[in-house]
A and B are shown apart, each in its own frame.
Chain A
């Protein structure tokens, strides 16, 4: 049973079934322990909850009644360890709940545990967590993608019906394409970020993984809420569900078809399984080539903006105010030496990003780099604003190929020469703050690849409605 609405309905009619269901679920989780996808499991809490008469009575009619979920370890849960994949927070127990966690449990969902993530959401591979590599169960030699690696594995193995992630560049979407699940990043400000450990505040959004778009729709209904604790939270009608999409009037723009380094099999499959059927359904489709100047610089722009912002948003991670203090406090110490000693435990990727961020914001460089990147972000917004005059949705293949191997990633890290490809197009939604959704569409040698669809600011419900149609179409094509 993979639909939230169906499972919740069964629980409502047979509350005894909850115990049987969760016993089997924990056996399944145990079976997948070797994938290293969770940091902690709250088995005792779960069984206490599902046998609590107050919970069974009070949450019975809530939309997520009894639905299991995982939370990425970057979200605060009161008195539960929240380490965000970094050793400097390994003993950090927050004294408050993140808004998203609170909304989910208020609506009857049950937290199974926290998931492994790349250190402080920086990595993009699933190889950078302090807990070690998150394994790809489809092929152990390949990466899962990140930074929300553990959450993606939880959903892909059906050990949870949904899992929360945060998406700064593509963290809730690239693992979705590599594991064949649905990944969603909403409009900036639609889901509260209160209680999320930040990476890059102007790009960060709360996203999530599900196995299908129906489930995504239910989670969105619960999480699209105004939150006065989050300054960037939106208070508007766009939070309310709507389904006013008229398919025949949809104008679709295809990008990335001329992108280099894309597996040609994928291009053929994309044309056959996506573009052709949508044309036959009567949609107006335009193929557009983005200028090289844009496509060749997206990753670098992302680096400048996100690495620079991370410097200030994570400057408080010194091991002094909270988190682990790695130095014996009995020793006489210089305050800055103490911070240096605590930060020595950061991983290589984190250190690399801090050094580059410092370079981009250095007094001598900031006009040519940081502020220039901010202006190019405005340029990109203007460019895509013009494109959206001609279309409602933009679609592209979400990754240039199936998940790369761990060896390929390690080799790339030696030279860091980036080859621009369709994967970079996922970053656009973060620069613009617009909603973006990845759906699985094909497989190459049993390894999945997804498509990404994004739309205009605050058009999340239209995007979800359109994704439902595309998902159904892909399923029909596959049968």
Chain B
């Protein structure tokens, strides 16, 4: 796979960025001589069975504050739940799901 100038311009436009010729050429060089090679390197990590880390706190699977509860459950269908304790009990205020594998 090679990255073209058109692809880089497309990526930049997604975040409302206009690139001048100098920046565009520098990125083209970086993508094709460093970024894509490093991506292949990452494939050597055998981590498919691991759960992703979203925040360092989640590593510890701990409650940050008395009124908040963070859960990291269900290895097959990984969730991060952030719940806020109210008078009515815990309510989910954020939930992230990561696709299995």
Contact = CB atoms under 8 A, between A and B. Distances in A.
Instruction: Indicate, yes or no, whether A interacts with B.
Output: yes
B91 interface: no
Interface residues of B, number: 45
A233 to B, nearest CB: 7
B56 A355 contact: no
A189 B30 contact: no
A427 to B, nearest CB: 13
B25 to A, nearest CB: 10
A202 B68 CA distance: 18
A300 interface: yes
Interface stretch (A138-146, A249-257, A268-276, A344-352): A344-352
B84 to A, nearest CB: 10
Given A188-B56, A231-B68, A300-B41, A417 B17 contact: no
Interface stretch (A3-11, A63-71, A377-385): A377-385
A355 B55 contact: no
A348 B23 contact: yes
Given A352-B26, A371-B52, A376 B12 contact: no
Interface string B1-45: 001000010011011111100110011011101110011011111
A368 B42 contact: yes
Contacts of B23: 348, 351-352
Instruction: Select the residue from B39, B54, B56 with max chain A CB neighbours within 10 A.
Output: B56
A408 interface: no
B64 A233 contact: yes
B45 A379 contact: yes
A202 B59 CA distance: 12
B98 interface: yes
A202 B64 contact: no
Interface string B77-91: 000000000000000
Nearest to B93: A231
Given A343-B17, A358-B12, A369-B42, A188 B57 contact: yes
B57 A379 contact: no
A126 to B, nearest CB: 20
A344 B18 contact: yes
B65 A374 contact: no
A333 interface: no
Contacts of A234: 57, 64
Q: Taking each of A226, A344, A355, A381, which has the highest tally of chain B beta carbons within 10 Å of its own beta carbon? A: A355
11 contacts: A202-B56, A234-B64, A311-B15, A339-B16, A343-B17, A367-B99, A372-B47, A379-B45, A416-B26, A417-B34, A457-B60
Please list the 6 inter-chain residue pairs (A to B) with the smallest Cβ-Cβ separation, ordered nearest first: A433-B56, A374-B52, A375-B47, A188-B56, A300-B38, A377-B53
Interface of B: 3, 8, 11-12, 14-19, 22-23, 26-27, 29-31, 33-35, 38-39, 41-45, 47-48, 50-57, 59-60, 64-66, 68, 98-99
